[in-house]
Amino acid sequence: MKPYQVLLPLILIALLSMGFSQTMIPATQSSSYQLSSINNSGITGTVYLADYGMNTLLVVVNVRGADPNLSYPAHIHIGSCGSNGDVVIPLENVSGATALSITMTNAAYTDIAAGSYYVNVHRPEDMSNIVACAEVGMAAQATPSETGQTGLAQGSQLATGVKPEEFATQMRTEGYGIFAVNNSGISGQIQIVENAEGGADVIVTLSNIQRNQHYGLEIFQGDCGPDRPSLIKLEPVPSVVGDPNASETRTDLTYSDLAESNNFVYVYAPEGAVLACGEVGVGALSQ
């Protein structure tokens, strides 16, 4: 896993050197946007923006329907889907195997979230073939006439049945830190993403874990501690093909069940010991 995938909250933890209960660092600002299929590609998903301070913007592109054998170029452009705008931020390629692109950039969150931008995902063998697009920032709030939705960029066309204004669907998302227990050295992040089809996606990334080991994950009700009611067992790490540090779970539990309630996540060693804990939802915000 590349260094930026450890994510900025872990850097902040090292800088702060504070106690366990004081280092829950959710994004100070975040937003998520629907990535819609273009050219009947069948590729959809979300674009997640998060500001963790220190002039650093995290951009996560999470897709569904990608070919696991391909790596898809992606960029943030100025304008709106179909406007053929210039590239302003090149993103890490979207891995079909992991379904993720994770990019750290020094662009300002407020500039992107308050501007008119869009994310294009391309076929690797033909950059003119756009497979998915997401309106980002104010472009997601505007009507097609306001964003200049005339013509189609680089030979692309909207998928059958998709209206331009449907790009504007904004999904809620939030990320939380996971922190070591008993000097295990294991840390990471848990991200809750509202699913347009209902329920939620839970993405966990861990660092400092051993290869060829599986780490259990479980969300409980209440604050980090023993004897709490279990809410859901997550897919273990690893569960994402091609990424030994990641887990992705799709659940019928809603975004509100997970991110707007008082919960926490445990990370277990293969033999069952608790290695790390992270407050999720209102518990993290109250730290």
- The CATH code of the domain that includes 43 is 2.60.40
* Token digits of residue 277: 């804990």
Indicate whether 132 and 201 sit together in one domain.
no
Whether residue 196 sits in one domain with residue 159: no
Per-residue model confidence as pLDDT tens digits over 130-152? 999 999 988 675 433 222 222 22
What is the predicted pLDDT for the residue at 149? Answer: 28
Encode pLDDT of 163-219 as tens digits: 223 323 345 777 788 889 988 999 888 888 787 667 888 888 888 888 888 999 999
- Which of 168, 196, 212 is the last residue before a domain boundary? 168
Torsion on CA atoms 208, 210, 214, 218, rounded to nearest 10: -20
Does one domain contain both 39 and 157? yes
Would you give the DSSP letter of residue 159? P
Q: Is residue 17 part of a domain?
A: no
For residue 30, count other CB atoms closer than 10 A to its CB: 19
Say yes or no: 69 and 164 in one domain.
Answer: yes
How far apart are the C-alpha atoms of 59 and 5, rounded to whole Å? Answer: 11
Same-domain check for residues 70 and 190: no
Whether 160 and 193 share a structural domain: no
Surface-to-core class of residue 181, CB atoms within 10 Å of its CB (0-12 exposed, 13-18 middle, 19+ buried): middle
Rg (C-alpha) for the chain, rounded Å, is 19
Please give the average per-residue pLDDT across 6-27, as a whole number: 38
Nearest-5° Cα angle at 54, 118 to 139: 15
Residue 232 in domain: yes
- Domain tally for the chain? 2
Length of the chain equals 287
Strand order from edge to edge, sheet including 246-251? 230-237, 215-221, 262-268, 274-281, 173-180, 187-194, 200-207, 246-251
Of the three residues 149, 168, 187, the one that is the final residue of a domain is: 168
DSSP-assigned letter for residue 107:
S
More confidently predicted of 17 and 86? 86
- 286 band by pLDDT with thresholds 50, 70 and 90: very low
Mark whether 73 and 130 lie in a shared domain: yes
Any domain includes 70: yes
Structural domain that includes position 151 = 25-168
Look-up of token digits 């097609």: 144
Instruction: For residue range 205-261, list pLDDT tens digits in order.
Output: 888 888 888 999 999 999 988 899 999 999 999 886 556 778 889 899 999 999 999
Looking at the structure, tell me whether residues 217 and 112 fall in a common domain: no
83 shares its domain with 103: yes
Q: Are residues 81 and 161 in the same domain?
A: yes
Instruction: Indicate whether 60 belongs to any domain.
Output: yes
Specify the CATH number for the domain of residue 260: 2.60.40.200
Do 189 and 112 lie in one domain? The reply is no
Any domain includes 1: no
143, HSE (Cβ side, Cα atoms, 13 Å): 2
Closest CA to 243 of 251, 255, 235, 252: 235
Taking the whole predicted model, whether its pTM rises above 0.85 is answered as no
State pLDDT tens for residues 31-89: 888 899 998 899 999 898 888 666 678 888 989 999 988 989 899 988 889 888 888 88
